[in-house]
Amino acid sequence: PDINIGPSAVIAGWVEASIAVIVVIARTYTQAKVVGRMGAEDYLMILSLIIAMLNTSLITHAVSWGIGRHIYYLTPEETVNAIKFEFIAQTPGIVAPTLARISFAIYLLKFVGTSKFRRWILWSVVWSQAIVNIIQLVLIFAQCEHFAALWDPSVGGKCWSRKVQVYSGYFLGALNCIHDLILTFLPLVILKDLNITRRVKVILGVLMGMSIFAFAASIVKTIELGNLGKVSDFTYFTVSFIIWFTIENYVVIIAASIPSLRPLLLHV
């Protein structure tokens, strides 16, 4: 039947975006007014949110063209435009969580003190996130002789197998999962050595451990990557991947921003 599951991805995306906007606004207010200083990590998080919302806007446009419906029921024009905007949305969808993870890693650098090993771990997260995600973007743009052939077969030219994007996505997903685990448990190790009360340690541990939810979302999104290879009905089967792709984007932003709200909570 000609069903449409695309709107579920749109609704999920904008609900999550709304929550992320509230959290990032609260974070920005905390740093600018309560703490009195905005750092590089704060600006990176604002940029991450803007780019994530660009991704959601492009997905919304893709759904209006037919993402979420079986490709059998779409006209050639609808098919081309639906797939085009879904592919274009992948770039901001990759960049947004990358910036959010880098932002959180830079935030944690404030707490590692003189430990060279912990600083090395956090900087390795920053640089590997940047380098590997740039490579992933290059693979997306370079996989066809003519970029438009990604969504319009009539353009012609040779393209790599879809498996290249799927397997490179698996590698990126695995790396993101590892980094989410590092950004979840390293703060707990750091807190253990801080000279603060146990109650404050528990509260900070819970706040800083929110990245575990980003880890869970990264796992499911990586599993859903297999749907990108279902070319025969791409517009329908890609929706579950889009939903988890979006969840990962906003969960990383929210989880990485919540620890920064502690000064606001103490102020209130």
Query: Mean pLDDT over all residues of the chain?
Result: 87
User: How confident is the model at residue 226, as a pLDDT?
Assistant: 66
Which residues are within 8 A (CB) of 141 and not within 5 positions of it... i.e. 6 or more apart? 147
What is the span of the domain harbouring residue 51?
A: 5-267
Beta-bridge partner residues of 69: 4
Q: How far is CA 200 from CA 194, 197, 207, in A?
A: 10, 5, 11
- Mean pLDDT on 137-142: 85
- pLDDT (mean) for 67-90: 92
DSSP state, residue 4: B
Q: Work out the pLDDT band at 216, boundaries 50, 70, 90.
A: confident
> Domain of 53: which CATH number?
1.20.1070
DSSP one-letter string for 51-111: HHHHHHHHHHHHHHHTTTB-GGGS-HHHHHHHHHHHHHHHHHHHHHHHHHHHHHHHHHGGG
What's the pLDDT band for 126 if we cut at 50, 70, 90? very high
pLDDT of 32 above 70: yes
Residues 147-172, mean pLDDT to the nearest whole number = 80
Give the integer Cα–Cα distance in Å for 143 and 224: 20
Q: Are 249 and 93 in contact (CB under 8 A)?
A: yes
Over residues 105-125, the mean pLDDT reads: 89
153 CB burial (10 A radius; 0-12, 13-18, 19+): middle
Do the Cβ atoms of 93 and 171 come closer than 8 Å? no
Residue 9 confidence (pLDDT)? 92
Q: Which residue has the higher pLDDT, 43 or 211?
A: 43
Give φ, ψ of 69 to 5 degrees: -105, 155
- pTM, whole model, 2 decimals? 0.89
For 219-250, what is each residue's pLDDT tens digit?
888 777 766 665 678 889 889 888 888 988 99
Distance, first Cα to last Cα, the chain: 54
Counting the structural domains of the chain, the total is 1
Residue 148's pLDDT is 83
